[in-house]
């Protein structure tokens, strides 16, 4: 007599359903899953069974819980090298993923004290400011603000608006090459507009980078702040070019 196959536990069926939805892109990386009570009603189970399903998905690295915020689809971190010549598109494309940039704001204004000092400008000198998002496969991994000396790079805003690329815009403005002179990294938490832009919950971990780029003669051309979504990026230090 053949023994019928043992039926899979109910929590395993629930995990399989959610696993399929995640792999099919119905739940995107970084998105919060529906609340526990809602999922329990959907599958007609108690919370203990649902938590067992979530524990299985968490063990597989597909989801992770944040205390007080819920359960989120895990994002596959993007390797991002910090070297002398950091180019966003090349960096991301090298990992086999699709990079894109979203420009949010371009303006010319007076430099604040830190910007003027970093760029070697007189206090209140005019600067161009470029703000936007860096995305990988359509998901924001970083918000950025770059500041440039306006007197030297008069046509830069138009080039930034046309290309969305700092490298291309600087080249069009006469800076053929530039390298990273310094980087300062600090752990922070995302709040308010920054959290909303990065599609992160309040208090999610981020890593702030403050960097200075210089031209071939060592003259500063870009002073930048970048706020990386902590769970979406693995920062690596690359060798000298």
Give the domain CATH number at 58. 1.10.10.10
pTM of the shown model: 0.72
Position 236 confidence tier, pLDDT thresholds 50, 70, 90? confident
Per-residue pLDDT at 54 exceeds 80: yes
Range 7-22 average pLDDT: 86
Backbone phi, then psi, for 86, in 5-degree steps?
-100, 115
Q: Name residues whose C-beta falls within 8 Å of residue 139's C-beta, 6 or more positions apart in sequence.
A: 28, 29, 30, 75, 199, 232
Tens of pLDDT, residue by residue over 191-204, are 999 988 988 878 88
Tens of pLDDT, residue by residue over 57-110, are 887 777 888 777 888 887 677 777 777 776 677 777 766 778 888 999 999 999
Cβ atoms of 50 and 10 within 8 Å: the answer is no
Least confident of 12-26, 71-85, 93-107, 141-155: 71-85
Position 21 confidence tier, pLDDT thresholds 50, 70, 90? confident
Burial class (CB in 10 A: 0-12, 13-18, 19+), 91: buried
Q: Is residue 137 part of a domain?
A: yes
Both 64 and 152 in a single domain? no
With a pLDDT cut of 90, the percent of the chain lying above it is 56
| Domain end call among 73, 92, 110 | 73
Domain count, the chain: 2
Distance CA 135, CA 175 (A): 25
Helix (H) or strand (E) holding 214: strand 205-215
Both 36 and 105 in a single domain? no
Both 149 and 227 in a single domain? yes
Per-residue pLDDT at 133 exceeds 60: yes
Smallest CA-to-CA distance from 74 within 35, 19, 28 is with 28
Both 16 and 91 in a single domain? no
Position 132 confidence tier, pLDDT thresholds 50, 70, 90? very high
Distance CA 119, CA 162 (A): 24
**Domain harbouring 130, CATH code:** 3.40.1410.10
Q: Of 177 and 78, which is predicted with more confidence?
A: 177
Position 159 confidence tier, pLDDT thresholds 50, 70, 90? very high
């Amino acid at each position: 007599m053949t023994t019928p196959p043992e039926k899979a536990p109910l929590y395993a069926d629930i995990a399989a359903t959610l696993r399929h939805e995640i792999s099919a892109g119905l739940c995107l990386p970084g998105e919060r899953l529906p609340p526990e009570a809602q999922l329990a009603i959907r599958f007609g189970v108690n919370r203990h069974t649902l938590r067992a399903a979530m524990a299985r998905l968490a063990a597989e690295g597909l989801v992770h819980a944040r205390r007080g915020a819920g359960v989120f689809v895990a994002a596959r971190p993007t390797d991002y090298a910090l070297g002398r010549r950091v180019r966003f598109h090349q960096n991301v494309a090298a990992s086999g993923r699709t990079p894109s940039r979203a420009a949010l704001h371009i303006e010319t204004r007076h430099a604040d004290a830190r910007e003027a000092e970093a760029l070697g400008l007189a206090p209140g000198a005019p600067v161009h400011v470029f703000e936007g998002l860096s995305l990988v496969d359509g998901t924001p991994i970083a918000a950025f603000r770059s500041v440039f000396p306006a007197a030297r790079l008069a046509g830069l805003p138009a080039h930034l608006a046309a290309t969305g690329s700092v490298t291309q815009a600087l080249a069009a403005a006469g800076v053929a090459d530039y390298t990273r002179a310094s980087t300062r990294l600090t752990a922070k938490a995302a709040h308010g507009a920054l959290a909303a832009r990065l599609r992160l919950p309040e208090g999610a971990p981020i890593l702030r980078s403050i960097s200075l780029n210089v031209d071939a003669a060592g003259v500063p051309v870009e002073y930048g702040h970048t706020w990386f979504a902590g769970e979406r990026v693995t920062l690596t230090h690359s060798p000298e070019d």
